[in-house]
């Protein structure tokens, strides 16, 4: 059974693709309120780990628990309803929707939204629509997107596009947010803003697991860091401990 405050628990998770073992007996425990860093050389299995946790891949072996519930085999949609959200390495934004419309469509899919519809029936859709719009405005404010609400994301600086993706992932108030290389392609100022936003997401009660290559960002943001190499966990601990670990240094230099 899960310990006190454990939100995500992986036990001996293995993921095989034909001849390749992308994850080999991975165990890790993330506590409620953490910002956990996942680092490791290219091809070490980080994205595969996220794909297993978020239900895109069905683990070949091992157990994954989210809030105490076994989730291996559950579809991404179901996991979203249980309170899991993620972003992808490559932005997945639409070319025909404004920033506000991105948030409105995301909000329209959340369970809360459907609850409101039910509660407000028979006044119906109109009232529900009002709540939806108000929530979208809140998200715009919270993520500093209000000035760009009517713009198409692809016309905006990359750092702002990333923020749209974050806002969209946060629309359902998830318990767990998985971020796959959110700082890739950002400049220094944008990275600093991102760090601030991720910190505030955690402070608002969402646990964060973040795959990130930028070590200074990992060091400043993460309470604990898990290091993968060739599909195995080779270190797990405080950022300073992990950075000084000879096996970790070897894994990076060995390539
Ligand atoms: P990282 O995110 O650390 O760069 P990945 O998780 O993307 O690493 O990849 C780990 C290994 O798993 C790589 O060798 C990759 O080619 C392989 N892999 C990932 N997804 C698939 C897949 N769908 N089919 C086959 N091999 C895959």
What is the Cα–Cα distance from 51 to 13, expressed in whole angstroms? 12
pLDDT given at position 233: 97
What is the Cα–Cα distance from 107 to 132, expressed in whole angstroms? 7
pLDDT given at position 1: 47
How remote is the CA of residue 49 from the centroid of ligand 1, in Å? Answer: 9
40 lines ligand 1 (CB under 6 A): yes
Residues composing the chain: 255
| Cis amide linkage into residue 158, ω under 30° from 0 | no
42 lines ligand 1 (CB under 6 A): yes
Q: Tokens in use for 227? A: 């290091």
Per run of 10 residues, the mean pLDDT along the chain (length 255 residues) is 83 96 98 97 96 96 97 94 92 91 85 56 61 92 96 93 94 95 93 94 96 92 96 96 91 71
Domains of the chain with bracketed CATH? 1-83+174-255 (3.40.50.300), 94-172 (no CATH)
What is the Cα–Cα distance from 175 to 251, expressed in whole angstroms? 32
Spell out the residues 6+ positions from residue 155 whose beta carbon is closer than 8 angstroms to its own: none
Nearest partner of 75 among 58, 96, 97, 88, judged by Cα: 58
In this structure, the residue with its CA closest to atom 25 of ligand 1 is 17
How remote is the CA of residue 23 from the centroid of ligand 1, in Å? Answer: 9
Spell out the residues 6+ positions from residue 239 whose beta carbon is closer than 8 angstroms to its own: 37, 218, 219, 222, 224, 225
Q: Tokens in use for 67? A: 């809030």
Q: Tokens in use for 85? A: 């959200």
51 lines ligand 1 (CB under 6 A): no
How remote is the CA of residue 69 from the centroid of ligand 1, in Å? Answer: 26
In this structure, the residue with its CA closest to atom 15 of ligand 1 is 43
What is the Cα–Cα distance from 90 to 158, expressed in whole angstroms? 11
Spell out the residues 6+ positions from residue 19 whose beta carbon is closer than 8 angstroms to its own: none
48 lines ligand 1 (CB under 6 A): yes
């Amino acid at each position: 059974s899960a310990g006190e405050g454990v939100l995500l628990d992986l036990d001996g998770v293995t993921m095989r693709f034909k001849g390749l073992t992308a994850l080999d007996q991975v165990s890790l425990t993330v506590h409620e309120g953490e910002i956990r860093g996942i680092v490791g050389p290219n091809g070490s299995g980080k994205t595969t780990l996220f794909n297993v946790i978020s239900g895109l891949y069905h683990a070949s072996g091992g157990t994954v628990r989210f809030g105490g519930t076994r989730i291996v085999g559950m579809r991404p949609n179901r996991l979203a309803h249980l309170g899991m959200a993620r972003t992808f390495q490559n932005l997945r934004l639409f070319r025909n929707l404004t920033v506000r419309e991105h948030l409105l469509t995301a909000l329209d899919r959340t369970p809360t939204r459907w609850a409101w519809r039910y509660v407000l029936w028979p006044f119906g859709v109109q009232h529900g629509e009002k709540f939806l719009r108000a929530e979208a405005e809140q998200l715009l404010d919270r993520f500093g997107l209000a000035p760009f609400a009517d713009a198409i994301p692809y016309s905006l600086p990359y750092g702002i596009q990333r923020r749209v993706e974050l806002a969209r992932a946060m629309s359902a108030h998830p318990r767990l947010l998985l971020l796959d290389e959110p700082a890739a392609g950002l400049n220094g100022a944008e990275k600093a803003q991102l760090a601030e936003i991720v910190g505030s997401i955690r402070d608002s009660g969402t646990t964060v697991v973040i795959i990130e290559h930028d070590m200074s960002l990992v060091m400043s943001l993460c309470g604990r860091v898990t290091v993968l190499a060739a599909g195995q966990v080779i270190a797990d601990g405080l950022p300073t401990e992990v950075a000084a670990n000879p096996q970790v240094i070897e894994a990076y230099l060995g390539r």
